[in-house]
Structures are given as structure tokens and as C-alpha cells.
Amino acid sequence: MQHCDTLILASWCIPVEPHELVLANYAVAINDGQIVELLPAADARNRYSAGAIIERPDHVLIPGFVNAHTHGAMTLFRGLADDLPLERWLKEIIWPAENRFVGPEMVRDGTRLAIAEMLLGGCTCFSDQYFFPEIIAQTAVDSHMRAMVGTPVLEFATPWAGNATEYLNKGADLVHDRYADHSLVSTCFAPHSTAAVSDKSFGDLRVMADQLDKRIQIHLHESAKEIEDAVAATGMRPIDRLEALGLVNASLTAVHAVHLTDDEINRFVDAGVSVVHCPRSNLKLADGIARVTAMRDAGLIVGLGTDGAASNNVLDMLGEMRIAALLAKAQAGDASVLSAANALRMATLEGARTIGLDDQIGSIEVGKSADLVCIDLMYLNSQPVYDPVSQLVYTVQPQQIKDVWVAGRHQVEAGALVQIDQAEILERTSEWRQKINSQIKPGRPNRENR
């Protein structure tokens, strides 16, 4: 018999690739953190001598969710500025709070809280864009969580850097060099938006990203006001400006992309740009609904992200997947668009593609990392099961996630964190709440005449 570290047997396995395939009573063999075989459960029992055999009847086994855009540390600002439009949310509450509280300790504790929440929700990889990226990367390593860590780029000073040049240099020294060959942490550049970065700095960024062979992830066309302000200031829409600067290419990931014309979608396709759709954040901030069906029909790769907990307010990829599917149907006036299988693909393999990790994660394939999730369908809200893919997308709640593996390591078992001290995280979070609440007045909208 062949040896493997772990053998997982489930009632259903959805590998995501090939698309729409559902395998009944299959097993996944894992060794040294990688998937070595996907085969019928009966054959697996005869072929493998496993260090651990994990049997999950009435469960569905899927690749781990990929949260393709978030700001993990902002979990500590969850609920601080609800029911406000984007501009007020940022300028009146979030930016002042960041200037006052952001530092290594805050980023570490907020990221730990985010990672714990995401693991319990079946997320095995997140793409993060925030200050002190070296702290985010180390926290991910300490938590054994896969991460794409973005170096922020801005013109103005923050607690992490004083100007765009310092952001770029610190990112290269502290993040990209240190994690160049890390098994769990990958890196990219994450300029905040076109409004926050000058032409010169974009030029410097392009040169550095090319030299280091790094992707660039940017908030783009998130709101109508962003576009109006850009046209007033530069005479160009943000996409046009990025294109003129040579940044619209296959290394670019556009986050949000709510307001794209047909021509802009086609230009993105031609250039190989990918998009991260954050539907609940866009809805909550009243930014609009991205044209996901038009994008995907044109051939764009579209992943899913939660955005930060300050604007969502949860890092729940199950919910993100469901609302994305429902919004697409309502927007198109066609119940057949963005099927359950396609929504799952956006939350896994297509999300991995938007951050350049699809050769490692996003599907259950031999040679890929064993980033896996087991979900219990024996719940009232998920019965009866006619189609496990539909049940997964339209009925499953986070508490049904029972097992999570990252690179073969069991991180969630029986619905509980295995390696992370949840009580300690909650204690630290409570301390931050008291500290922030004593110095920042939570935002409240003007409800007059509403």
C-alpha cells in the first residue's frame, strides 16, 4: 500500500476543475501538504495507508475559498462607521481612526481576528491591502494561513510611511525580498486608488513591479464620484489614466470595477486584466452593482472578495458568493445567469487567478496545495440534497463548515479552531474596542427627513 499523511473521504467532492463536476463518495489523498490523488473512496481504502483517515458522510469537500480582496486589520473598525456613504465613511471616520490607531500591534491583532474569522468561514487564502504589510505577512505565517500581501502605495503620510517613494522602498525591503520564496505568503503592490497616487509614483511603481515580477492590485471605478472627480482633476477616467501610464496589462487586478463601460470591459479583456467583485461592500456603501455578467460573458476573470469588515461587515465568503449570484440574476433579469457552479468558481479558482495563485490553489487537482474545506449538509436548511452545488451556494451557513485544511494542516476541526486561541483573540479585540470607543465617536448618519 502507498503511504499518505491524510485521507479525506466525503459523500460529495466538488473539484471545481473540471467545471460543474460532482463526484459522489470520493476521497482525496494528501501528502506533504499537497494533493496526491483524487479517487473513489473504495479504491482509496485499498490503495493508501494513511496517517489519518477522516470520514465525513453527508459532507461536501471543496477547495478552500479565496478572499481575493480584503483589509484584514480593519476588523477592529467593524461597525464603527455604518450607514454612511463612501466619502463620509472614509474621510470623517475611517481615515481619522487609522491615523490615531494604526500601528504594528493594531495590525497584528486585527489581522489575527480576521484570519480566525475567515478560517471558520472556509477561507484558506486572503489577499490583503493594508499598512504594515510585513506584520500582516508574519501574522499569516504564525497562523498558518495563505496570504497575498499587498504593499500600500499613497502620496500622503500614514503611520507606516511618509510618501510614495518610502512606501515602495519599504515594501521591497520588508516584504517582497523577505517572502520571495515562501510557501504560504506571496506579495504584490497595492496602490490605494488613482486619486491617491501621482503619475510619477505610478511610473516608479510600474518599474519596480516589473523588476520584481509582481502584480498590482488597485481600487478602481468603485464609485461614480471617484470617476467624476478624476475627470474634473485630470480630464480622464481612472482607467484611461492608468492605460496612458502603461499599467493596464495582465499584471493588473481591478478591485470593485463597479462602473465599467462596454468599451472598458473589452479593453480589460484585451489587456488580460482581472477583476475582484465585492458585492456586499458595494451595496452597503451604495456604490452600485458591478456588471459581472457582462464582464464574464466578455471573457474577464472575476474573483470574489469581502473587502474589509469596516464596510461589509463580515468576512464571509459563503454570503459573498450567494449575494453575487442573486445580484447578477436580478441585474440581468435572467435567473439562469451566474449559476451556482459559476459562483463557486468565482469564490475559488477564479479568485486564485485574480491574484496569480491558480497554479497552487483554487481547485482539487493533483499537485496543488491541500487547501480544502468540508461542509456538513445534514442541516435542516440544506435538506434534501438534490444538487450539492446548489445547496452549497444557496443554503449553507458558516456554522456548517466543519473542517478546514491549509497546505494539509488541519486548521478547523468539528467547527472549531485547532491551532488558534480564540479566547485570546476575543480578549484582545475587547481591549481594542474599549480603546477605540473612548477616543472615536462612532459615525451616525443624518436621519433627518428619512
Residues 117 and 258 in one domain: yes
Residues 53 and 146 in one domain: no
CATH number, residue 165: 3.20.20.140
E-state strands within 262-380: 274-277, 302-304, 372-376
Q: Is-contact 5 31, C-beta < 8 A?
A: yes
pLDDT, position 441: 65
The radius of gyration computed from the CA coordinates of the chain, to the nearest angstrom, equals: 21
The predicted-structure confidence for 179-189, as pLDDT tens digits, reads as follows: 999 999 999 99
Distance (Å, rounded) from C-alpha 128 to C-alpha 147?
7
Question: What would the mean pLDDT of 396-423 be, rounded to a whole number?
Answer: 98
Residues 208 and 281 in one domain: yes
pLDDT, position 439: 86
> Does residue 221 lie in a domain region?
yes
What is the total count of domains within the chain?
Answer: 2
Residues 153 and 272 in one domain: yes
> Does residue 442 lie in a domain region?
no
Q: For the chain, what percent of residues have pLDDT higher than 90?
A: 92
Q: For the chain, what percent of residues have pLDDT higher than 70?
A: 98
Question: Which of the four pLDDT bands, split at 50, 70 and 90, describes residue 449?
Answer: very low
The predicted-structure confidence for 23-46, as pLDDT tens digits, reads as follows: 999 999 999 999 999 999 999 999
Domain encompassing residue 397: 2-63+365-414
pLDDT, position 443: 54
Question: Which of the four pLDDT bands, split at 50, 70 and 90, describes residue 447?
Answer: very low
User: Would the pLDDT of 84 be above 90?
Assistant: no
Q: What is the mean pLDDT of the chain?
A: 96
The residue out of 323, 354, 385 marking a domain boundary is 354
User: Would the pLDDT of 78 be above 50?
Assistant: yes
Q: Which distant-in-sequence residues (6+ apart) come within 8 Å of 423 by Cβ?
A: none
Residues 276 and 188 in one domain: yes
Residues 27 and 140 in one domain: no
> Does residue 97 lie in a domain region?
yes
> Does residue 431 lie in a domain region?
no
**Among 107-111, 141-145, 265-269, 437-441, the least confident range:** 437-441
Residues 277 and 388 in one domain: no
pLDDT, position 393: 98
> Does residue 214 lie in a domain region?
yes
Question: Which of the four pLDDT bands, split at 50, 70 and 90, describes residue 175?
Answer: confident
Q: Is-contact 182 163, C-beta < 8 A?
A: no
The CA–CA distances, whole Å, from 237 to 226, 229, 278, 300 equal 9, 9, 21, 20
Q: Enumerate the H helices of 397-439 as residue ranges.
A: 422-439
User: Would the pLDDT of 332 be above 70?
Assistant: yes
Residues 410 and 309 in one domain: no
The predicted-structure confidence for 192-218, as pLDDT tens digits, reads as follows: 999 999 999 999 999 999 999 999 999
**Among 2-16, 91-105, 126-140, 242-256, the least confident range:** 91-105
CATH number, residue 13: 2.30.40.10
The predicted-structure confidence for 280-297, as pLDDT tens digits, reads as follows: 999 999 999 999 999 999
Residues 273 and 224 in one domain: yes
Q: What is residue 442's DSSP assignment? A: P
Question: Which of the four pLDDT bands, split at 50, 70 and 90, describes residue 139?
Answer: very high
E-state strands within 257-310: 274-277, 302-304
Residue 129: other Cβ atoms inside 10 A: 28
Residues 70 and 40 in one domain: no
pLDDT, position 448: 40
Question: What would the mean pLDDT of 162-182 be, rounded to a whole number?
Answer: 93
Residues 164 and 270 in one domain: yes
> Does residue 436 lie in a domain region?
no
> Does residue 151 lie in a domain region?
yes
Grid coordinates 479583456 are at which residue? Answer: 269
Q: Which distant-in-sequence residues (6+ apart) come within 8 Å of 304 by Cβ?
A: 66, 67, 68, 276, 277, 278, 279, 317, 320, 321, 324, 346, 347, 350, 351
User: Would the pLDDT of 444 be above 60?
Assistant: no
Q: Is-contact 190 217, C-beta < 8 A?
A: yes
The residue out of 335, 354, 373 marking a domain boundary is 354
Residues 123 and 269 in one domain: yes
Q: Are strands 146-153 and 123-129 parallel, antiparallel or unpaired?
A: parallel
Chain centroid to Cα 332, Å, comes to: 25
> Does residue 423 lie in a domain region?
no
pLDDT, position 442: 57
